[in-house]
Amino acid sequence: MKKLLGLLCLSFIALHSFGQSNRDGNIAIIPEPVSLTQKEGEFTLPKRVIIETATGPEMKQIIATLRERFSVPTGSKVVVLSNAQAATIKLILNKKADDALGKEGYNLAVTPKGIFIKANGPAGLFYGAQTLVQLFPKEIVSNKYVANVSWMAPCVEITDYPRFKWRGLMFDVARHFFTKAEVEQYIDNMVKYKMNLLHLHLTDDEGWRIEIKSLPRLTTVGAYNVKKVGYFGNFSPPGPDEPRDYGGFYTQKDIKEIVQYAKDRFVDILPEIDVPGHSLAAVVAYPELSCTPGADKYQVRSGEHFMNFSKDGIKAGIDNTLCPANEKVYDFLDKVLTEVAQLFPFGYIHMGGDECAKNFWEQSDAIKALMQKENLKTQEEVQSYFEKRIEKIVESKGKKFMGWDEILEGGLAPDAIVMSWRGMKGGIQAAKMGHEVVMSPTTFAYLDYMNGDPAIEPRVYSTLRLNKAYQFDPAPDSVDSKLIIGGQANLWTEQVYNTRHLEYMTWPRAFAIAEAVWSPKSVRNFDDFASRVEKHFDRFDVAQTKYAPSVYDPIFTAKIGADTTKTEVELSTEVKGLDIHYTFDNSFPDQFYPKYTAPLLVPTDAYMLRVITYKGDKPVGRLITITVDELKKRAKSKRNYPNNDD
């Protein structure tokens, strides 16, 4: 019997693998479905497209998505009916729930005669619609009519459902302000890849971005700073006469509209009010919230240096924290959270807790008195005291309390949910303590890191390449997977000034995170993923959405040669099938220049190495120039940039 069961299992695996791999090269779905089987034939879109669907408010955006995609670029007329015998596309809500699909799964069948999407609920139909769009030619994403395209899709059967319920992107709108329309555009792109959670980082040292009617100075004062351009963190201090008019905030009307926009697309919005650190904008607006005399002279930060990070801890040049010993702070946060809770229907509120510099607390008589009164031994216990009081306020508003993994230090609040960013360790610790966890580690999921080599990328202190992001697995084997409710990628915007660069930093690495939180581990394969990413680059070109082509750029590894004092350079690529052409003679290499086949020894008097990658006769990578001095520096320090290593 065991042998028979084993053979049946092997047969199932073989069939499943055939369905996944034996497909037309044009099928490129992200995230990878649970099961995809290609059938014979193709479906051709008619000039009159009839969509049969149930009615209801949750169906509105599903219909709008299909109507737009199948009419604007194609020129077809789309008609929506509640009962049509000859429907082109049928959206079917299961009368009896399919337990395997859950709330967000779907079945999609494309046949020569029609298309059928079945799901237990509207969210599943919405995600099925996103997959359907990906089956058509890339021009389907165009915002204008495209002539001379064969609007055909391969016949397939797909069964699909998510691995995790929390599939998120964190969007920092505090460091640099982005408008309501820009936030909605971000939502539009994330839902195409079945992400369902937008984490809005609404407050920080550089700005308070949400209107709190009972505390108007938070936005009249705290939402604006002096505009600076360059490398954030190294700006000169603003002069007293420079205008503080750069920034902005969301009115409560804006927030309600963003929340509804997201809800229509089956996205929840998690608000973050970052305290007790990262609170300079709040302190500038209301200096009485600080422990430190002279806080009334502070200004909202523009990006000038004032925080020092070292192995000995975080030291701040000015006190950007709320005072845990001040009862006014808790009254203030009660007012803030009362209004925030009313604006955001999602069941969680994120209260930050990260990177809290405590050097001013150490000098505060009020903090010393609190420690004596509450028998607190360390500054970490002081922060824990603060977090536990904040948790009670959050819960009094009917919400769950969430914070970054620093809230573990000094003792975790009883029912806190931990978002683990300093690697996976904090999340594993919290899960072993019985707490829910969302994984968002720097190791795999920080989209503010460089996409590739700093020789060509805007410089940040670390690099996260696509292949590393693809290794993200939110649920390590060492913990109860039920406590890992999902994962997300985080995009901090210190170095992000506009939406085009926002897109560049998000895509394609967010593809990798989307697949990590939606697709089963068993169907994930980087080489297959990379080939699908390339096809989605083509779609982004049509949609005029920016992305980072860094996956085509070579990886440089410099070292001192084993038998020589010369610098040796190894070159590799993330994706297969690329040729690397190079030169040391200062000219510009193309496909007629030497092709890299083995490690290079840098010539004695060479000044620079230039490289470019080709796929066949087509250049796909960018021309990259690295000076020999830089290569020698990397070789001596053993600091290279294949992946983030901080």
Residues serving a catalytic function are 204, 278, 355
Which residues, in sequence order, are CB contacts of 574 under 8 Å at separation 6+? 465, 466, 467, 530, 551, 555
Contact 359, 307 (CB under 8 A): no
List the structure tokens of 175. Answer: 């460091």
Phi, psi of 415 (to 5 degrees): -120, 25
Taking the C-alpha atoms of residue 339 and residue 393, their distance in angstroms, rounded to an integer, is 12
For residue 137, give Cα distances in angstroms to 62, 193, 634. 20, 17, 44
Paired residues of 400 in beta bridges: 348
Beta-strand relationship, 207-208 and 624-627: unpaired
User: What is the maximal distance between C-alpha atoms in the chain?
Assistant: 84
Beta-strand relationship, 89-93 and 115-119: parallel
List the structure tokens of 7. Answer: 């053979």
Amino acid at 47: K
Residue in this structure with the two tokens 């046949």, named with its chain if needed: 111
Q: How many of the other CB atoms lie within 10 Å of CB of 235? A: 16
Contact 36, 27 (CB under 8 A): yes
For every residue of 529-574, DSSP letters joined together read HHHHHHHHHHHHHHHT-----GGGSPEEEEEE-TTSSSEEEEEE-S
List the structure tokens of 473. Answer: 């697995």
For residue 407, give Cα distances in angstroms to 13, 95, 420, 446. 43, 45, 10, 20
Taking the C-alpha atoms of residue 416 and residue 424, their distance in angstroms, rounded to an integer, is 17
Q: How many of the other CB atoms lie within 10 Å of CB of 319? A: 26
Q: How many of the other CB atoms lie within 10 Å of CB of 22? A: 10
List the structure tokens of 67. Answer: 């109507």
Helix (H) or strand (E) holding 431: helix 425-432
Contact 293, 287 (CB under 8 A): no
Paired residues of 199 in beta bridges: 170, 270
**Three-class DSSP category at 283:** helix
